[in-house]
Structure 1
Amino acid sequence: MKIGLIELSAHSEVLDSLIRQAVDVGASPTVYTNSFCAESSEAAESAEVEWKVCLRNLPYAEFLEKYTSSIASQDHLFIITPVDSLCGQWLCPSPRTDPARTRCNWRACPAGKGKRVNLTTRIAVIGVGNEFRHDDGVGWTVVAQLAERAEERPLPSGTALLVCDGDPARLIALWEDADLAILVDAAHAHPRQPGRLHRLELDGVQLSQTSSATSSHGLGLGDAVELARELDRLPRQMVVYAVEGADSSLGTGLSAPVAAIVEPLAERIAEEIALHVGSAGSR
């Protein structure tokens, strides 16, 4: 599986997270980027990554034209910070949730882009998962849906849209100091019902759970919560939306039942944020 990543802006956690996910599924990603991103990446010295770096004085248009055939040959292409005038020929007009897609583009969230929550961030929405394992990428897709929605209907000030590959240390860094952290993750349950949604809420020091759904990652969110509790780095309130998946094999795109939940879940999260802000304002 050939995976290409294009990042033409500042270095972001999204780039490193996608690199980690690609390597995790046995791919050797090709990254088309500028020298700052290449030097800043945690994978800068990795032998598993092929770097195509734009020279400092070379216009991006000429840089992309030079690698047009290489970019076009990728099985899966993720454009992290799209510039339509430069990347328009590779941007896919169909929704990210279309299960028939064989190529997809990551439009990085305007708020956060995987950076640590700062003092002005009161609400953190974190998509957890691996976009190269089909339904395991539902968290990222929901966050992308929220970012698209926010272009027309902005979320409250202080809301950060973030993504993470599920590493507990990175999750903790994203949610600490937030008033509210909302996580979206793929889940396994028995019996399985793909697309079924579970809502879990932090109750005291544990996640309250009324179903048998568990995170699709080896180290569950409950373990990350316990570690954060020991380190005194929990958010004031945490809500987890877990979506049961149908397919976590290698590849991109969501299965039909999981894709169907993305838009309504994004709306539900936006409503939950509005209710939280409203209740906080009335205190």
Structure 2
Amino acid sequence: MAGRSILGLARQLSEFVYVCAIYLGIAVLITVVLGATVPSLREQARQVHEALLVALRPDQRLNQIWFASYGADGYGWATSSGKAADLLDGGELPPEDAKAESHAESATRSSTAPQLSFSKALKLSVQGRHVEGITAAQAEALRSYLARKFKIAHSVAGALVNTVFVVAREKALDPQLVLAVIAIESRYNPYAESHVGAQGLMQVMTKVHKDKFEVFSDGPIAALNPIANIRVGTQILYDCIKRRKSIEGGLACYVGATGPSDGGYGAKVKAEWRRIALASGIPVGR
């Protein structure tokens, strides 16, 4: 009887040890997995953090480019007074008596580029400002379409639309074509990266086009800045269209197609281009 009780106790103890061993093994496995993944997650978080700082930090050389785009090239912002300069300082005009400031003060202000960055574009978008040449209804329809379809903030959509319209017009390109390229390339994810290293909204190959980022103090990492990416990507698209003598050929060039087929890339971009134009009410080619 006593032997049977001891045997039962030993069996229970054995089962307890077995269960403990299983849980201990699971704990060790979880520890190993976390040890392998957490550092990489931390590194990814660090990279995203750095990218955000690059995108939102006012950059002096970038500011000068933006100043030229929004203040001097004829594609300023639509304002109640019709003056693009109204928006360079957040949409606020100085008091009338401020016009009597000294010549020296005026020279100092002119020599310092306005603090224009993507955060500035966001603020202007929140204020409902839009580029000249399109109506408020068209601008709203366009930003609403992009925000809804690609699940991005309404203010971000507005800032990107304004930026694309300014930059594309510099190259005499249809801004909605550039918006369509962004849609197909990254679905409006400014931090997207392909398996071959193409980065940002327009999936620019920074290793191939490193020279185009020399104007930015951050160098190739500026590809993660929406403004810089759009400027460089639009330049590449413009060069491709000019080289191939047509939009279809330019799109094939942009995607890197060297043969007779571009894998359907051009058809996808053109289809999205038509959808964007239909949603905004802005004719293709405007």
TM-score interval, normalised by the smaller of the two chains: under 0.3
Structure with greater helix percent = 2
Q: Which has the larger Rg?
A: 2
Structure with greater strand percent = 1
Could you state the TM-score of these two structures normalised by the residue count of structure 2? 0.27
Could you state the TM-score of these two structures normalised by the residue count of structure 1? 0.28
The structure whose RCO (Cα within 8 Å, separation 6+) is larger is 1
